[in-house]
Structure 1
């Protein structure tokens, strides 16, 4: 995993979240992704170094339920969005 995005339906994907390999736990990769406070439904997606989708999960913070399960696609039918809105690091 090299790219993590938050992808709201019908809006530009947000990305650029740091992906780190834990130095003291073999195989552990961690990231911190954040969304604007008004965004309560989105897809959280992870892409590999080749730009291919590794895994995606739908997130609903408003208590609602998505219609279907998250997406997993290792055949590279889905690629990282061409442009990503950078995370807003000024909001407190």
Structure 2
């Protein structure tokens, strides 16, 4: 196996790891509980705080939708950048 053969797998892995980082809730919640330190402050923790700690479901759901739209935008841009180009001309 050489690196050029793994290029397509690495592209997909890079996208999945980026998306997973934004949606990771379990790791900081398990380590720190409800009050994470500033270094472990993730958007998923803010969504949890707004939805289930302060019972502000509207703000939590709005933050979730905005996160979804941001991640869809990032995914679309990423797919446009790495898509294979055809040289039929």
TM class by smaller structure:
under 0.3
Higher strand share: 1
Higher helix share: 2
**For the pair shown, which has the larger CA radius of gyration, 1 or 2?**
2
Tell me the TM-score normalised to structure 2 length.
0.24
> Which structure is richer in relative contact order (CA contacts within 8 A, separation 6 or more)?
1
Tell me the TM-score normalised to structure 1 length.
0.23
